[in-house]
Structure 1
Amino acid sequence: MRKVIVYSSVHHGNTEKLVKSIAEECQVDLIDAVKQPDADLSSYDTIGFASGIYFSKFHQSILGFAEKNLPDDKGVFLICTYGGSANYKSIEQILGKKHSTAIGKFGCKGYDTFGPFKLVGGIAKGHPDGKDIKNAVEFVKGL
């Protein structure tokens, strides 16, 4: 069964840190949604989307990629890093349009210095940490 994670990691590399560790330990291909916006997902059995949370949404590059490239009727898993809280609604709306189902969700804290958090030196410093990475790897292995 072929798996891929399409990801976007913009500010501090939180999401990239997670997905690269997953790819090292699991047989998972990685696609950077910004660098490969037209990648073909049709040969994958299971597709993951990974992003930081921005204004309660997955990054726009992930949303646009999923809208354009996600084949219908695929099993999809979701991964996010966040300073405030996990929120999957934006990507789940696209999954619904594509007749796809979220087969699993994983989220963890990620270092965040956006907006007012910058004034206090950021929040969730040091995250994702070793425990977060281990839990993300176990999540993907368990799919």
Structure 2
Amino acid sequence: MKSLIIYDSAYKNNTEKIARVLANKIDADLLSLKESKGVIIEDYDLIGFGSGVYKETISSKLFDYVEKLNLRGKDVFVFSTSGVGMKFYNKKLIHLLESRGAICKGSFACKGSFNSREFSDNKIFELMSKFAMGHPNNEDLIKAEKFVERIVRQIKE
């Protein structure tokens, strides 16, 4: 099975850490949207799409990239990093992927460290940043590996 991981990691490279772990685990090609090199989507059986969460949403660059793809019948998955590490941020991207004909096989999210003072003076964000400090950590990376292993196993069955 030929796999590709496409990601946008613009802040502290939290998402890039997860993307690299996923790619290494399943021997996938890796494409950062910063590189913006062309890729032939038809060559891949499984495609992962990942992003950090910026101002409560996945990267607009990733949405724009997906809008241009023909994903009919492609197996895909979504992953993200955020201050809270919740999968609900992935829903909008999953909906877009499915509207492009993709078959979403799963969704993964984990915390990513951030500096709250760079975004807000609100005390709640300061508290959230303390809980997210040091993430993604080894436990997050192991969970990411197990997630992608389940996806591959599911496709092969």
What is the TM-score when the length of structure 1 is the normalising length?
A: 0.88
Q: For residue 126 of structure 1, what is the aligned residue in structure 2?
A: 134
Question: Which of the two has higher C-alpha Rg?
Answer: 2
Distance 2:150 2:91 in 1: 23
Alignment of 1:31-110 (within 5 A): 31-36=31-36, 38-84=38-84, 85-86=86-87, 87-110=89-112
1:25 deviates by: 2.8
User: What secondary structure does 2:147 align onto?
Assistant: helix
- Poorly superposed stretches of 4+, deviation over 4 Å: none
Pick the structure with more helix per residue.
Answer: 2
Paired residue secondary structure (1:5)? strand
User: Residue type matched to 1:20 in 2?
Assistant: R
The alignment yields a C-alpha RMSD, in angstroms, of 2.1
Contact preservation (8 Å) 1:8, 1:32: yes
Amino acid at match of 1:103: K
Aligned to 1:116: 120
Tell me the percent identity: 29
